[in-house]
Amino acid sequence: MKRCEMKIRLSLVHLITLGSILAAAASAQVDLPKAQIVTLNLDPQEVTILHLRRGFVSSVRLPDAVSSVVLGDPAAFKAEHSEAEPQLVFFKATSAKPSETNALITTKSGHEVSLSLVSEGSSTRGGPVDYVLTYGRPRSFLIAPTQSTLLVSATNGISPGDTPATNVADKVDNKERKLVGQGVDDPHWEGKRLRVAIGRTEEKGEAMTVAFAVLNASGRTIELLPPQIQLAGTAKKHAKAITAEPVAVKDYQMTARRLAPGEKADGVVTFDRPAFKESRDRLLLQVAQAEEVDRPVLAKIAFVAPAKGGTQ
């Protein structure tokens, strides 16, 4: 009888242990995230939400080689990019707590991708995780021929015998050729190693087009990021607090984005000017190099262009 009771007890222990293992396995399967593979068309005017989770890696594939990646909160997220895979960026959530931040990816062709990174941390909930996010090329990099515009979203190289006027003017009409070809005659440079000067400014309806020049005054080769526009000022209650609101860039053109020491590039940028501003606010052109995105050069733009166009 005792042997029989012992066998029964051992069998019960084995059954309980097996049941616990099966329950844990079932629980683990329930807690697995919902894997997602997403494909989108590249649209610089949209922000894409990228679902992350600690312990998983998500890859973002761009249609062009990546120039720079900037994270809003590098303490909670990690971004990795290798020249061996120039079109891929890998994102990881490193914080055990639920976290959110943003990320900006810039490609070498001048396109910008804005991401909103969302992580549930170490949560056991089986929420979605974007394993792969692939961006396809926009339907067209060119503005439709029926529209009047100075620009295309691309960077044109210059051969040693060319000037910015001959390189860019082939793609614009006679009126626009004057603005692009003139460049900046008497530049008032802002910045030290990276210098920026504002040239002629013209308005057509709500669109404002500004010519500018960039000079590499450093001793090394640099790569420029696409120009940006911002409306900046000081807070009313705190005189030392600076506020900045980005202004969407419709398009831009630069004769070069990779500059050797002493080289200069000319460009134009088009944007819809804000309808109004406060007296303390300034309209600024922001230019930065890829490896020092946190140290841009800011150049003031006249809020109202001269009646017939001209330098500021």
Q: Look up the CATH number of the domain holding residue 65.
A: 2.60.40.1550
**Residue 294 is assigned to a structural domain of this protein:** yes
Edge-to-edge strand order for the sheet containing 228-234? Answer: 242-247, 228-234, 282-287, 297-301
pTM: 0.46
pLDDT at 125 over 90: no
Q: What is the mean pLDDT of residues 275-294?
A: 84
- Please tell me whether residues 126 and 199 are part of one structural domain: no
pLDDT for 290? 85
What's the count of helices (H) and strands (E) in the chain, helices before strands?
Answer: 3, 20
- Please tell me whether residues 201 and 237 are part of one structural domain: yes
What DSSP string runs through 46-95? -EEEEEE-TT-EEEEE-SS-EEEEEES-TTTEEEE--TTSTTEEEEEE--
Between 27-41, 145-159, 250-264, 278-292, the lowest mean confidence (pLDDT) is in 145-159
**Residue 190 is assigned to a structural domain of this protein:** yes
Round to whole Å and give the CA distance between 268 and 156.
Answer: 12
Q: Which residue bears the tokens 């006027």?
A: 165
Per-residue pLDDT reduced to its tens digit, 185-243: 778 899 999 999 999 888 888 888 999 999 999 999 999 999 999 888 765 554 454 56
- Please tell me whether residues 247 and 108 are part of one structural domain: no
Q: What is the mean pLDDT of residues 42-65?
A: 87
**Torsion-angle region of residue 137: left (phi > 0), alpha (psi -120 to 50) or beta?**
beta
Per-residue pLDDT reduced to its tens digit, 96-119: 889 999 998 988 877 788 899 999
**Residue 149 is assigned to a structural domain of this protein:** no
Question: What's phi and psi for 11, nearest 5 deg?
Answer: -65, -40
Q: At 89, is the pLDDT very low, low, confident or very high (cuts 50, 70, 90)?
A: very high
- Please tell me whether residues 206 and 297 are part of one structural domain: yes
**Residue 203 is assigned to a structural domain of this protein:** yes
- Please tell me whether residues 160 and 271 are part of one structural domain: yes
**Residue scoring higher pLDDT (176 or 273):** 273
Q: At 281, is the pLDDT very low, low, confident or very high (cuts 50, 70, 90)?
A: confident
pLDDT for 132? 92
DSSP secondary structure code for residue 304 in this structure: S
- Please tell me whether residues 281 and 176 are part of one structural domain: yes
Radius of gyration of the chain (CA): 27
- Number of domain units in the chain: 2
**Residue 214 is assigned to a structural domain of this protein:** yes
pLDDT for 40? 83
Range of the domain at 232: 154-301
pLDDT for 280? 76
pLDDT for 238? 47
- Please tell me whether residues 211 and 107 are part of one structural domain: no
Round to whole Å and give the CA distance between 56 and 33.
Answer: 10
- Please tell me whether residues 213 and 285 are part of one structural domain: yes
- Please tell me whether residues 224 and 88 are part of one structural domain: no
**Residue 237 is assigned to a structural domain of this protein:** yes
**Residue scoring higher pLDDT (109 or 180):** 109
